Amino acid sequence: MNRWLNVKGVLVLCAALFVLGAAVPASAAPDAGAAKLQPAKKAPAGDYKPWTPPKKEQVSAPLFVVLAYSAIWLTMLAFVLSVWARQRRVERELAELIREQQE
With cut-offs at 50, 70 and 90, classify the pLDDT of residue 85. very high
The 10 Å CB-count burial string (b at 16+, else e) for 62-71 is ebeebeeebe
Q: What is the pLDDT of residues 9-18, one digit of tens each?
A: 777 777 777 7
Return d(Cα 50, Cα 52) in angstroms, integer.
6
Q: What pLDDT is recorded for position 90?
A: 96
Residue 44's φ and ψ, nearest 5 degrees, are -70, 170
pLDDT (0 to 100) of residue 19: 72
From the number of C-beta atoms within 10 Å of its C-beta (0-12, 13-18, 19+), residue 21 rates as: middle
pLDDT at 94: 96
pLDDT of residue 78: 96
pLDDT at 43: 55
